[in-house]
Amino acid sequence: MPAAIRVIHPAPALAVVVLSAALGAILLNQAGMLLDGRWALLVLSVAGSQVFTGATNDVADATRDAVAGRLEKPIPAGELSVAAGRWIAAGGLTVQLLASAPLGMPALLFGTVASGSAAAYNLALSRTPFSPVPYLVSFGLLPLWIAAGLGLPLERVLPAVPLAAAFAAAAHLANTLRDWEADAATGSRSLAQVLGRRRTHVLAVGLALTVGVALGVALLVSRASAPSLGLGTAGLTAIAVAASSERRLWASLLVAAVAWTAAWGLSTG
């Protein structure tokens, strides 16, 4: 895969963009509206933010990645310069701001704070015990950003804010397990390194399952349809099956995120 694509962390970036697009489409459908230019601009702005976040992460970690011998990353492998990484990050941020501006000040503000929080993680907090905080902030704001970008009432997505934040923290912890040795070798003091490998694993699984159970309760209370309950159960099952494997946990969280977003969409019309 070309270095310029790998530097933006394409798998998680694509996951966030697709889930944001799906959530926006669900909200518009609930409001009896069709996909329109606002939706397209919103998706583009989220995509720009993911380009900015991924490239900034690799630029900030370039020296440490080289020390750790992480040649799967394009900058330490010599396939992309730090300067090029900075230009890619700047381009992503420019796209985000230009696409958000026509959507109004609330959308512009939510998106800017979310990306600012991600930048704080990349530049300062990723190697401290406060490493989950930017995930809580950025992904907690994401449902609000989407609703504001579409011009819809924010109260429609308020219940999703704590669930999205907690789930993002679980995904962050699961991701640190995949990079455990490399982070330890470069002296990281992220929350995962402070807690230890086993407790980090337990906390990641526990947070994810808690979100799934909370969603399941909400679906039951709202008397959701059988397909919605089935999708909710599928997400929980994916996490439960992969719970014992550090390598499979992150992928199972992605499966659960897709299943639970679809379950919520079906249950709310």
Identify whether residues 165 and 122 lie together within a single domain.
no
Q: Which of 7-11, 64-68, 168-172 has the lowest mean pLDDT?
A: 64-68
Domain end, chosen from 87, 112, 128, is at 128
pLDDT recorded at residue 264: 79
Task: Give the CA radius of gyration of the chain.
Answer: 18
pLDDT recorded at residue 21: 95
pLDDT recorded at residue 228: 87
Nearest to 114 by CA among 171, 23, 48: 48
Q: Is residue 103 part of a domain?
A: yes
Q: Is residue 226 part of a domain?
A: yes
Given a cut of 60, is residue 23 above it in pLDDT? Answer: yes
Q: Is residue 136 part of a domain?
A: no
User: Exposure of 85 by Cβ count < 10 A (0-12 exposed, 13-18 middle, 19+ buried)?
Assistant: buried
Identify whether residues 115 and 179 lie together within a single domain.
no
pLDDT recorded at residue 171: 93
The secondary structure of residue 80, as a DSSP letter, is S
Identify whether residues 2 and 124 lie together within a single domain.
yes
CATH number of the domain to which 96 belongs: 1.10.357.140
Q: Is residue 230 part of a domain?
A: yes
Given a cut of 60, is residue 269 above it in pLDDT? Answer: no
User: Residues with Cβ < 8 Å from 140, sequence gap 6 or more?
Assistant: 161, 162, 164, 165, 168
pLDDT recorded at residue 70: 80
Identify whether residues 124 and 4 lie together within a single domain.
yes
Residues found in the chain: 269
Q: Is residue 202 part of a domain?
A: yes
pLDDT band at 268 (very low <50, low <70, confident <90, very high): low
Number of domains the chain contains: 2
Identify whether residues 198 and 99 lie together within a single domain.
no
Identify whether residues 180 and 269 lie together within a single domain.
yes
Q: pTM of the entire structure? A: 0.91
Q: Is residue 9 part of a domain?
A: yes
Given a cut of 90, is residue 131 above it in pLDDT? Answer: yes
Domain end, chosen from 78, 106, 128, is at 128
The per-residue pLDDT for range 136-155, each reduced to its tens digit, is 999 999 999 999 999 999 99
User: What is the arithmetic mean of pLDDT over 227-245?
Assistant: 90
Give buried/exposed letters for 167-189 (b at 16+ CB in 10 A, else e): bbbbbbbbbbbeebebbeebebe
Identify whether residues 2 and 123 lie together within a single domain.
yes
Q: Which residue has the higher pLDDT, 264 or 120?
A: 120
pLDDT recorded at residue 64: 84
Give buried/exposed letters for 11-28 (b at 16+ CB in 10 A, else e): ebbebbbbbbbbbbbbbb
pLDDT recorded at residue 200: 94
Identify whether residues 123 and 164 lie together within a single domain.
no
Identify whether residues 67 and 5 lie together within a single domain.
yes
Q: Is residue 140 part of a domain?
A: no
Mean pLDDT value across the chain: 91
Q: Is residue 142 part of a domain?
A: no
Given a cut of 70, is residue 66 above it in pLDDT? Answer: yes
Identify whether residues 80 and 171 lie together within a single domain.
no
Distance, in Å, from the CA atom of 227 to the CA atom of 262, rounded to the nearest integer, reads: 9
User: What is the arithmetic mean of pLDDT over 57-68?
Assistant: 87
**Domain range holding 253?**
159-269
The per-residue pLDDT for range 173-223, each reduced to its tens digit, is 998 988 888 788 778 889 999 999 999 999 999 999 999 999 999 888 888
Given a cut of 70, is residue 1 above it in pLDDT? Answer: no
User: Residues with Cβ < 8 Å from 32, sequence gap 6 or more?
Assistant: none
Q: 162 with 140: CB under 8 angstroms?
A: yes
Domain end, chosen from 76, 111, 128, is at 128
pLDDT recorded at residue 267: 75
Identify whether residues 95 and 165 lie together within a single domain.
no
The two structure tokens encoding residue 176: 């640190």
Identify whether residues 164 and 124 lie together within a single domain.
no
User: Exposure of 69 by Cβ count < 10 A (0-12 exposed, 13-18 middle, 19+ buried)?
Assistant: exposed
Distance, in Å, from the CA atom of 48 to the CA atom of 96, rounded to the nearest integer, reads: 5
Given a cut of 90, is residue 119 above it in pLDDT? Answer: yes
